[in-house]
Amino acid sequence: MKKIIVNLGCGKTRIPNSIGVDQVGIKGFTDIIHDLDIIPYPFTDNSVDEIHFYHIIEHLHEPLKKIEEIYRILKPGGILNMRAPHFSSMGAFTDLTHIRPFGLTSFDCFEKSAYHHFYTRTEFNILKKEIKYFGQYPNSGVYEKYIHKNECLCIIKPYIRLINLLIRMSPVFLRDFGAIWLAEHAK
């Protein structure tokens, strides 16, 4: 049986063997034209094995309902690969089409054990979450191969890797420290 892979908000991205969905029909990329702010999405319940949803949720209204809709179309055990801008990123606020940025724990309400799980009946197991800076370098897997190549000046790669390593070690501390540091130095 063929694996059903969907790239929601595909834009000019073609992930091999995926169904590209976007509100704009782009020849060679978009297979289904659909505004992702409109529910339901054009898929039946439990019909998709894997969804790629990169830098789209920040453009949509009612993100909780959009994730619930994604859950509806995913098969049990299906995988959602998602990225969204962190609120500390300059890009989170400079794009006029962004409705909101997100934090490290924004999507925790989808885990059954989370304090805010009462917001939804949808249950995901979050396998990985992390904050990355500097164009999300370094990237890996499908994201690196088809979405955002690892383009970075060689001379600064070790520093970026170090900063991202420190963030992975304690994302909450670094997020809060960065906010406090910026607030103190803005005086």
pTM: 0.78
Predicted confidence at residue 60, as pLDDT, reads 97
Of the two residues 139 and 59, the one the predictor is more confident about is 59
Q: How confident is the model at residue 185 (pLDDT cuts 50, 70, 90)?
A: very low
| Beta sheet of 48-54, edge-to-edge order | 32-33, 18-22, 5-8, 48-54, 74-83
**Measured CA distances, 159 to 39, 151, 155 (Å):** 43, 14, 8
Q: List, for residues 92-146, the tens digit of each pLDDT value.
A: 778 888 898 888 888 888 888 777 767 778 888 888 877 766 555 556 677 666 6
> DSSP H helical segments within the chain, as ranges?
63-73, 90-94, 141-142, 157-169, 171-185
Q: How many CB atoms lie within 10 A of CB 101?
A: 17
Which residues partner with 22 through β-bridges? 33
Q: What are phi and psi of 75, to 5 degrees?
A: -70, 155
Give the tokens for residue 149.
């190549």
Predicted confidence at residue 182, as pLDDT, reads 47
Spans of all domains in the chain: 5-129, 136-187
Mean pLDDT of 18-44: 97
Q: List, for residues 151-167, the tens digit of each pLDDT value.
A: 666 676 777 777 777 77
d(CA 90, CA 70): 28
**Measured CA distances, 178 to 7, 91, 124, 137, 181 (Å):** 33, 16, 30, 19, 5
Domain 5-129: CATH architecture, name and number where available:
3-Layer(aba) Sandwich (3.40)
Predicted confidence at residue 84, as pLDDT, reads 86
